[in-house]
Amino acid sequence: MVDSRLVYMRRVKKHLAPAPTDPVLRRYEVQFRTLRAQLADLGVFCKGTLLEHRPTCGKPNCACAQHPEQRHGPYFDWTYKVAGKTVGIRLSPAVAADYRAAIVEWRRLRTLLARLESLSRRALTRKARLQR
C-alpha cells in the first residue's frame, strides 16, 4: 500500500518548478500568482446581458404617454445564448441586482483569463529564448 503523504509530495513536487533566475521570469511569476489570487476572489458569475426597459403601454390617456418619467416598469430581462440560440428571462428588480453583479464578475473572469493567457505566452516565449 502506498503512503498517501508520499503521493501528495509527488503531486506537489510535480507542480513546483524551481524559482527562475531570470528577473523577467521572476516578475512574470509574481504577476501570475497575483492574477491567480484574484481568480480565487471571484464571486458567483454568469454570462449574458441584463436589459432594463420602461415601456409605454400605448393607451393615449395613460400617464406614460404624456410624461416619459411616468412610464411603466422598470422591467428587467436577462438574455444569454445556449447552442447559438438567445434565451431571455424576465427578472424582478430584486433579483436583477444579483444578476447584474454576476455579469460583472463574468466580465472580470474573462479579463483575468485573458491576462493570464497573455502572461503565460510571454513567459513561455522568454523561457524558450533563454534556453537557446
Question: Mean pLDDT in runs of 10 for the chain (132 residues)?
Answer: 53 54 91 94 95 87 82 91 96 95 97 96 91 82
Q: If you search the block for the grid coordinates 523577467, which residue do you land on? A: 24
The closest alpha carbon to 88, from 99, 96, 77, belongs to 77
Distance of CA 66 to the CA centre of its chain: 42
Q: Is residue 7 part of a domain?
A: no
pTM above 0.85, yes or no: no
Q: Is residue 4 part of a domain?
A: no
Residue range 78-114, pLDDT digits in tens: 999 999 999 999 999 999 999 999 999 999 999 999 9
Element (H, E) at 101: helix 93-130
The closest alpha carbon to 76, from 102, 58, 49, 101, belongs to 49
Q: Is residue 76 part of a domain?
A: yes
Q: Is residue 96 part of a domain?
A: yes
Q: Is residue 59 part of a domain?
A: yes
Total number of domains in the chain? 1
Q: Which domain holds residue 87?
A: 19-130
Within 22-74, strands assigned E span 49-53
Q: Is residue 88 part of a domain?
A: yes
